[in-house]
């Protein structure tokens, strides 16, 4: 008889004592542990949200798959920003992306009950593993190379045969690596494994153009996107998934029965956000500047930090591999709260992640404390 599943402690609650330490400094804590947007909601979105249309949209039940206008806005965004044609029938709405990340393995297991394994990068967002646990699937991490990219050659044949899906994340959280999506899509087709590409940081790349797995193939793949990061709408919970029409269709039909729906006003806000690229470019500039200034702060402390390929995190190798000691030191001396690498898997130990999610006055405060 199987034992009852007991949820592990939520990782970020383990940082509460360090937040308390950081708060003791004059000016309080500067929390860079969670990638929570700190900048205003774009004006185009706020105007849409408070309009008569958004109020009216609160009355009826929203469509689970997304309104016609929302699906059209997503399709047009794919064409405009990623130069890929995605029909509206190959798109579905989700309540942010964490909901779909933790929930999709359960639905894929229903689609193919013989498969019981979820593959994901060994250094990655912890919800990939948790989604496998919640689906009562095997959770199997895939090694990454020295550039933090997934190493498909190290997946065993037995795990491939049992895999219901493979998660990839590009640009990645926490390391900011950009994956070879063409090779990954081809691997999925060759092995009959659904590839799930988490692309919520897709527009925050620093040396290349944004890439989606859907530019390489739509067969056997699903791309997952969120407006939380690009449009500072984390509290609105607007996301979408797109790709293989048969798989998307199955997800859409099952999710209707589950009652997953983005509220009508949130869909209106999402449509407005997807229609405008200017606010994303402004946000991108802010994140690049903050990353650059944080790199300088760490250099002042004698700690090397480098610009990631993408995303808005610094992934820093910790001297002597004692990341918890550095977490405490940063809290005590700078009032900076950061995330220890072990939150992202065993191989993440010996690193810290720093999110560039502080406003100008808070970055200045860190610079003053560090003596920049």
Closest Cα partner for 272 from 46, 38, 62? 46
Give long-range contacts, CB 8 A cutoff, 24+ apart: 213-216: 213/168, 213/181, 213/184, 213/185, 213/243, 214/78, 214/82, 214/84, 214/86, 214/242, 214/243, 215/82, 215/83, 215/84, 215/181, 216/181, 216/182, 216/185, 216/186
Residue 1, pLDDT score: 63
H or E element: which one contains 118? Answer: strand 117-121
β-strands 336-337, 339-340 pairing: unpaired
* Torsion, CA 175, CA 181, CA 183, CA 189, rounded to 10: 120
Cα torsion 93, 175, 285, 293: sign: positive
Among 174, 63, 175, CA closest to 127: 174
Residue 58: predicted pLDDT: 77
Query: CB neighbours of 296 closer than 8 A, spacing ≥ 6?
Result: 367, 372
What distance lies between CA 119 and its chain's CA centroid? Answer: 17
Structure confidence at residue 52 (pLDDT) = 67
Would the pTM of this model clear 0.75, i.e. be above it? yes
Largest alpha-carbon pair distance within the chain? 59
Within 10 Å of residue 318's Cβ, how many Cβ atoms?
18
pLDDT digits (tens, 9 = 90+) for 324-350: 999 999 999 999 999 999 999 999 999
- Kindly give the parts of the chain with pLDDT less than 70: 1, 52
pLDDT at 54: 72
pLDDT at 197: 98
| Domains assigned to the chain | 11-41+278-370 (3.90.1150.10), 43-274 (3.40.640.10)
Question: Can you say how many angstroms the Cα of residue 246 is from the centroid of all Cα atoms in its chain?
Answer: 24
Q: Round to whole Å and give the CA distance between 41 and 26.
A: 29
Q: Phi then psi for 112, rounded to 5 degrees?
A: -140, 85
Rounded-to-5 percentages of helix, strand, coil across the chain: 45, 15, 40
* Number of neighbouring beta carbons within 10 Å of residue 67: 18
Q: Please tell me the distance from the alpha carbon of residue 327 to that of residue 49, in angstroms, as a whole number.
A: 39
Separation of alpha carbons 115 and 228, rounded Å: 32
Residues 54, 265 contacting (CB under 8 angstroms): yes
Closest among 36, 54, 38 to 269, alpha carbons compared: 54
**Element housing 79 (H / E):** helix 68-82
113 by DSSP, 3-state: which? coil
**E strand or H helix that includes residue 168:** strand 163-169
């Amino acid at each position: 008889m199987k034992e009852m599943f007991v949820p592990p402690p939520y990782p970020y609650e383990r940082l509460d004592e360090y937040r308390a330490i950081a708060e003791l400094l004059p000016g309080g804590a500067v929390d860079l542990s969670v990638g929570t947007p700190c900048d205003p909601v774009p004006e185009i979105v706020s105007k849409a949200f408070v309009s008569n249309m958004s109020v009216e949209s609160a009355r009826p039940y929203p469509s689970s798959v997304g309104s016609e206008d929302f699906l059209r806005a997503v399709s047009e965004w794919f064409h405009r920003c990623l130069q890929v044609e995605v029909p509206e029938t190959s798109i579905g709405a989700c309540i942010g992306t964490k909901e779909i990340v933790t929930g999709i393995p359960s639905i894929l297991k229903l689609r193919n009950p013989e498969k019981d394994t979820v593959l994901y990068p060994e250094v990655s967002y912890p919800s990939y593993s948790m989604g496998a646990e919640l689906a009562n699937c095997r959770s199997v991490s895939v090694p990454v190379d020295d550039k933090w990219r997934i190493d498909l050659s190290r997946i065993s044949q037995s795990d491939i045969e049992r895999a219901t899906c493979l998660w990839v994340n590009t640009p990645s959280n926490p390391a900011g690596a950009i994956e070879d999506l063409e090779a990954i899509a081809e691997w999925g087709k060759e092995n009959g494994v659904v590839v799930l590409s988490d692309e919520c940081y897709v527009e925050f790349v620093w040396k290349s153009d944004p890439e989606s797995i859907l530019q390489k193939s739509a067969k056997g793949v699903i791309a997952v996107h969120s407006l939380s990061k690009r449009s500072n709408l984390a509290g609105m919970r607007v996301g979408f998934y797109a790709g293989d029409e048969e798989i998307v269709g199955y997800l859409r039909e099952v999710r209707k029965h589950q009652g997953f729906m983005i509220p009508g006003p949130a869909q209106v806000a999402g449509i407005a956000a997807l229609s405008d690229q200017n606010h994303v470019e402004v946000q991108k500039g802010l994140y690049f500047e903050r990353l650059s200034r944080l790199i300088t702060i760490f250099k002042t402390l004698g700690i090397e930090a480098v610009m990631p390929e993408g995303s808005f995190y610094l992934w820093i190798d910790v001297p002597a591999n004692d990341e918890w000691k550095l977490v405490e030191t940063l809290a005590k001396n700078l009032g900076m709260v950061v995330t220890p690498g072990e939150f992202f898997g065993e191989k993440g130990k010996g690193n810290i992640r720093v999110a560039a999610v502080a406003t100008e006055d808070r970055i200045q405060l860190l610079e003053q404390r560090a003596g920049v």
